[in-house]
Amino acid sequence: MKKLKRYQYERYAVLCNLAYSRVLKQTRYGFAPKGQRIIANRFGLPMIRVLWSKDKEEVIVVLKGSHNPWDWLLNLCLWHKPCDQIDLDYSIHAGYHFLIHQNSQPFHKHDEANLTVYQRLFDTIVPLVLEGKRITFTGHSSGGAIGTVLADHLEKRFPCSVKRVVTFGQPAVGGKAFKAGYLLSHKTYRICCDLDIVTFLPPIPYLYQHVGKMLWLYNGKIYENTPTMLRLGRSIGSWLMRPFSYHLMTKYIRNKDFFDER
């Protein structure tokens, strides 16, 4: 597995953050004037943005996490549902299954009606793949979770079409069968930040397992593939000790910027 470079991390992180904004001006970030396609959810709100440039190979699919009370409630659907509608031989979290197969309201002038999120996304990216472009999937929270499923399906339909998968604060999406059948573990980076509790969800060992390389950003360092229980123990210990850490002289030294220079 190649390393994820800093500029790549920053690019994907910025795009995932901007995905929550009502408007994303793609030309500010090096994409073509007509190089953005928005995939809306059942409410007609942007859920996925597909971004590309004519002169670059990489197409970036940015998936937004849960951003309304109804989608948050879907996180509680902890049972598994088969992905046979998209020809995958494993089951995934029922709530995330719904997000992929929910109706996608037309967003652009020429959008067809009565398509699912999955269908509208693939209608957009398959022609780009056939042009020779490669797809990077990136997403935050549940967006990262469903991004792994969509990326795996694309790779199975069009081998070598996925460049990489980068997720931020992602909960697990499937179990043992998903982990065994997932083709992109060597291209998947799962970013976890400090004490982010969502990265431990759903809290059902074996029924839910993560895929790819985990990069834990913790105490100013990057830890690779730290076992879940060790990471959880360190996180709880850090949380319990945090009030005492403010007593250390290092904290007082760091706060020197509160004072004016003379």
pLDDT in tens, the chain (262 residues): 788 998 999 999 999 999 998 899 999 999 999 999 999 999 999 999 999 999 999 999 999 998 888 899 999 999 999 999 898 999 999 999 999 999 999 999 889 999 999 999 999 999 999 999 999 999 999 999 999 999 999 999 999 999 999 999 999 999 999 999 999 999 999 999 888 888 989 989 889 999 999 998 887 788 888 888 788 787 777 777 777 666 555 656 665 565 655 5
Please report the pLDDT score of residue 234 as a whole number. 78
For the chain, counts of helices (H) and of strands (E): 8, 12
Structure tokens at 32: 């073509």
Q: What is the CA radius of gyration of the chain?
A: 20
**End-to-end alpha-carbon separation of the chain, Å?**
50
Question: Rounded to an integer, what distance in angstroms lies between the CA atom of residue 208 and that of residue 199?
Answer: 11
Residue keyed to tokens 């398509």: 115
Question: Rounded to an integer, what distance in angstroms lies between the CA atom of residue 68 and that of residue 63?
Answer: 14
Q: What residue spans define the domains of the chain?
A: 6-226
Domain 6-226 part of CATH 3.40.50.1820: yes
Question: Rounded to an integer, what distance in angstroms lies between the CA atom of residue 219 and that of residue 238?
Answer: 10
Helix-strand-coil percent breakdown of the chain, rounded to 5? Answer: 40, 25, 35
Residue 167 phi/psi, 5° resolution? -120, 155
How big is the CA angle at 43 (ends 141 and 169), to the nearest 5 degrees? 5
Buried b (16+ CB within 10 A) or exposed e, 120-135: bbbebbeebbeeebbb
DSSP secondary structure letter of residue 85: G
pTM for this predicted structure: 0.89
Query: Which residues neighbour 119 within 8 Å (Cβ) at sequence distance 6 or greater?
Result: 104
Please report the pLDDT score of residue 259 as a whole number. 61
- Identify the burial level of 61 via C-beta atoms within 10 angstroms of its C-beta, where 0-12 means exposed, 13-18 middle and 19 or more buried: buried
